[in-house]
Amino acid sequence: MNKFLAAVVVLVAAVATVVFFYFKSLNSSRYQSQPFKAVPASAAVVIDLRNSEEFLSLFQKNRMLDDLFSSELIADIKSLNSSFLQHADLRNVLKDERILTSVHINSQQSPSLLFIIPLKNTDRLNRFFNNLKGEDNTLKYRLTKIEDAEVYTVGLGNNHKAFSFTSYKGLLLGSFDVELLKNSINVQHSSTDISVGSLIKVENVESTAIKATLYINYKQLGILTDAFLDDKNKGGLGFLTGVAKWSTLNLNYKSDALMFNGITHADLSSADYFAMFINQKPQPVRIPALLADRTSFFVDFGVSDYEQFKKDHKVFLGQSKRTDIHEKWLSSFKKNYNLDLETEWTQFMGNEFALAAYDTQGVTAKASQIAIIALSDTSKAKDFLQKIVIADKRKGISRGNLANYKGFSMFYCGYPDLLSSTLGTVYKNIEWPYMAVVNNYLIAASYQPVLHQFIDDLLVSKNLEQSDNYKKYKQYINPESNVYFYLNFANSNTMLSDNGNKRLIDYTSEKHGIANYYGLTFQLNASGGQFFSNLNFLYEPKKEDQLKDTTSYALIKSVDLDTELTGNPVLIENGNGTHSFAVTDRQNRLYYLDDTGRLLWKVKLTEPMMGLINPIKINGKPYMVFNTTTKVFVVDENGKPYPKFPLSFKRKISAPVSVFDYDSAGEYRLVVPLVDKSVTIFDLDANRMEGWRPKQNVGLVSHPIQMAKVSGITFLFTITDKNKFSFFDRKGNQLASGKLPVMVNNQFYPVLGTKAVDSRYISADTAGNIVTVFFDGRVRSKSFGTWSGEHFFALKNITGDAIPEYVYFDKNHLYVYTSNGSLVYDYVPDGEASSQIQFFEDSSGKNVIGLHLTIADQLIILNENGEVATGFPIKGNTSFIKYYSTTNHADYLITGSSYKLLIYRKN
C-alpha cells in the first residue's frame, strides 16, 4: 500500500506544471460510497485501493513503484505502514480491506494525508482499541475526544511525527494531521459540512479486476498545487480549479508504464474549461511532428467543429460571468483594427491548437511558452495578421524587427490577449504575441528569440514524434484526442526550478526516484457527454552510476557423503584458532572435517542424535557433547571418547542434553531429563551431582533445560509437556513455578534484568500470543495478531538496538516486529521455505536471518532491510553455517545438497 500512495506526489507535480503553463459512473453500494462521506470536500486527490496481500507484494517488489517516492513521503508512509497498518494486532483485521487515502492542504500550506479504512467486521478492531487502554499502553498512546469519538495519538518511528487514529461509524480513520482527522469526524457528524461523497460518483471497486482507483477533485487541485510552487507563483492557478469536476481512473500496469484509465466529468453549466470540448470529436494528434525532441511539455486540444466550439466558448464565458468583459474586448479590438475577430478567425482556424514549452536555459518558464494553432487556410491567416501589423504601424506600434526569419513571415500584435480571447485562457501568458505561419500552423510566443528557436529546431532538429523514446511509448498514446497533455521529466529541470518551491525541486532532483521516469501523458476523449481518460506514467530506469556490490559465494569444494545430511552443521573452534566442523547424516553417521573440507574421521552412532552438538573446551582442547535417546557422549577432535563416556541410561532421555558452566570456570555440568519425569545432573567425571534435589516428578521435559544467572543466583528453567514451568537453583531448590494458560511449542528466550524480578523468558504460544514468564513465577500474556498453531517464533536482535525483535514465520511468510507491534519488515520467499529459521549474529549482537528454500534447493540470507543479501541465493538443501576462516582469511559457508557437503567461499 505504502508504495502506491507516492503516485500522488507525481500527479501533483505534473498538474502544477501543466497549470502554470495552462494546464461511466456506476451505481455504488453503501460499502462503496460510505467511506467517501468521511472525506472532507477539501480533498484534491483520493486513492481507493484494495489491501490484498497479492497487491501489496507487487508494490514491495516493483522498482517502478519505488521510484515514485519522494524522501519525505517515504519516511511518512514507511512509518505508518510499519507502526500502524502492519501492526501485529491489526494485520489480520485490515487484511483485504480497502484503504482510502485523500490528499489535503493543511493550515501550514503543506500536503496532509487522511487514511480511511472501511471494515466489514469491527469485532477484532474493537478488541484492539480495548487493549490500548491497558496499563502497558497508557504512556505510548495519548487519548483525547473529538465529538463522540475516542482519538488515540502515537509517535511513529524515527521521523518524530505523531499519528492520530480512531474508530468511527464502522471506519478506521487516521492522519498525521489531527485537525484533518477532526474535519473527517465533523463531516460525518454534521448535516451541513460537505464531503467528497456528495461531489463525485463513486466507482464500484468490488470487481477483482480493479486493484486501485484514483479520484481527482479539480475544484481543490489548484490549492494543492500551490503547495508545490514558489511564493511568486502561488495563487495563480485558478484555471486548474475550473477545468473539470472530477476524474475517476482505475489502475493498470505493465513493466514500463503505470496506466490509469477511466472517466473525467466536465460540465459547461459549471464553467469547466474542458467542457468546451465535450461536443467535439477526437482529432488526430499532429503536434509531436512539429516539436523538437527536447520538448518539456505540451497540451493539445482537438476541435472538429469550430462553430460549435465558439458557441460553447460563449456558454463557458457566460457561466464564468465574463461575457461582458469578452464582448467589450471584441468591440475594442474591432474599433482598433476594423476587423471582426470571430468572423475573420473562423475563416482560417484548423482542427487543433496547443501550448508547448522547451526547457530553455536563460529564459523564464513563462517566456518560453509557445502557441501552436492549426490553420485551414494559411493565406487568409497571413492576410489577417498583416492587417494587424499595418494598423499597428500606422499607430506607431512596433516591436523589434519583423523581417522574414529563414523564409517565414513574422507578425506582431500590439493589442493584448488576442489568443486568449479567441481560444481561451490557456494562452493568457502569451499576452503580446510575436507570430509566424509555419507549415500550415500559426506559431506564437511572447518572446521573439523563442519563436526563432522554434523555427531553428523545426528545420534542423529531430522532432518529438521521431525520437526513440516517444516511439517506444506510442503504444500507450491514443492517436486521436480532444485534450492531450505530455510532460517530459528530464526536459523540465529549468521549468520546475523556476516555478517550484523546495519541496518540488528536491523531489524532482532526487538521484533515482522520478529521474527513472521518461514522463507522463494525460488524454481526454469525448463520448456521451463525458471524457474517457488515460493517465500514463512512462517508466525508463536509468543505468546505475554507482559501483554495484559484486559479492558472491563460490563453491570451492564438494565432499561426498554416504547419505543426506540432517540437522545443522556445527562449527568447532580449535585450540590454535582454526576451525573444524561436524555434521550428521540420515544413517546416524557423525563426520568431522577441517575447514578445507578434508574428512578427519567419521563414526556411526547406534541411534539418531537428539538436538545439536554442544561444543566445549577442556584445558583448551575442543570437545563435543551430544546425546541419543539412551546415551550421552563427550568426544574430542579425534573422535576419542572422554574418560567414563558415553553415559548409558536404562530409561530413555526425553530432550537434548544441556551443558552449563555455572561460573565460567571450566566446571561443566550435563543436565539430562528422562522420560520418567526426573532430571539428573552429571559432571565430566560422570558423577551424579550430590545435593541435586528434584530427582523425581519434575515433569516430562521435551525441550533443553535453560540456564540464566542474575544477581549471582543461578536459575534453571524447565517447561514440561503439561505446560508447567519451574525455576530451580543449581542445587535443585525450586525458586518459582506455575502453569502457562496456552500450550507453548516454541523455544523460550531469556531477557535478563539487573534483578530477578525484572528478568524473564519470552516465547509465543500456539495462538501466537506473546508469553512472558518472570523469574519470580509471574506470567503475562498479550495478544500479538492471529497466527496458525504451527508458526515459528524467535526473539532476536535484528535492528541492533537494545530491545530484541519478535520474529514470526507462518504460512511461508516471515515477519519481524518490534516489541510494541510495529513491523520492521516482512518477506515472502519465492517458493516454499523451511520453518527452521536460522540467525547469524555479528560482533555487535545484530542478527541477520537465513532461510532454506526447500523445493528450489536454495539458501538465502536477508539483510537488515529484509531484502535478499548480495550473493544469494546459493545451492543447498539443508541448514547452513557461515563463519570467518582464520586459516584462509575469508568468509565461508557450509551446507549440504543431496549426498554431498558443499563448502562455499565468499569472494
CA angle centred on 515, ends 509 and 518, rounded to 5°: 135
Question: What is the C-alpha to C-alpha distance for residues 508 and 460, in angstroms, rounded to an integer?
Answer: 30
Give per-10-residue mean pLDDT for the chain (907 aa). Answer: 40 40 34 80 88 54 69 70 78 80 87 88 78 66 88 75 89 92 92 83 57 87 78 62 88 86 93 94 95 92 96 94 95 95 96 89 76 97 94 78 85 93 90 94 93 91 90 92 92 74 74 80 93 93 64 92 89 88 94 92 95 94 96 96 96 97 94 94 94 80 94 95 93 93 95 94 95 96 89 95 93 92 89 94 91 94 92 93 88 92 93
Q: How are beta strands 669-673 and 679-682 bridged, if at all?
A: antiparallel
For position 140, what pLDDT does the model report? 74
Q: State the DSSP H helix or E strand holding residue 503, giving kind and residue range, or none if neither.
A: helix 502-508
For position 4, what pLDDT does the model report? 40
Q: Cell 502561488 identifies what position?
A: 234
Q: Which of 91, 99, 131 is nearest to 117 (CA)?
A: 99
- In degrees and rounded to multiples of 5, residue 797 shows phi and psi of -80, 105
Sequence length of the chain is: 907
Contact 703, 696 (CB under 8 A): no
Query: CA quadruple 145, 146, 149, 151: dihedral positive or negative?
Result: negative
C-alpha radius of gyration, the chain, whole number:
37
Neighbours of 127 (CB within 10 A): 12
Q: Which of 408, 356, 405 is nearest to 381 (CA)?
A: 408
Name, in order, each residue with C-beta under 8 angstroms of 802's C-beta and a sequence gap of 6 or more. Answer: none
Neighbours of 207 (CB within 10 A): 10
Question: What is the C-alpha to C-alpha distance for residues 473 and 838, in angstroms, rounded to an integer?
Answer: 46
Contact 48, 204 (CB under 8 A): no
Burial class (CB in 10 A: 0-12, 13-18, 19+), 78: middle
Question: What is the C-alpha to C-alpha distance for residues 738 and 721, in angstroms, rounded to an integer?
Answer: 13
| DSSP per position, 819-862 | TTS-EEEEE--SS-B-S--EEEE-TTS-EEEEEEETTTTEEEEE
For position 60, what pLDDT does the model report? 57
Q: Please, where are the H alpha helices in 133-213?
A: 178-189
Q: Where are the domains of the chain?
A: 4-252, 281-481
Q: Cell 494485520 identifies what position?
A: 91
Question: What is the C-alpha to C-alpha distance for residues 354 and 287, in angstroms, rounded to an integer?
Answer: 8
User: Per residue in 506-516, pLDDT tens?
Assistant: 777 766 677 88
Contact 464, 295 (CB under 8 A): yes
For position 511, what pLDDT does the model report? 66
In terms of phi and psi (left: phi > 0; alpha: psi -120 to 50; beta: otherwise), the region of 873 is: beta
For 206, the 3-state DSSP assignment is coil
CA angle centred on 116, ends 111 and 121, rounded to 5°: 170
Specify the pTM. Answer: 0.76
Question: What is the C-alpha to C-alpha distance for residues 301 and 482, in angstroms, rounded to an integer?
Answer: 5
Angle between helices 7-20 and 218-226 (to 10 degrees): 90
Neighbours of 154 (CB within 10 A): 18
CA angle centred on 410, ends 406 and 413, rounded to 5°: 165
User: Per residue in 56-81, pLDDT tens?
Assistant: 555 555 677 777 766 666 677 777 77
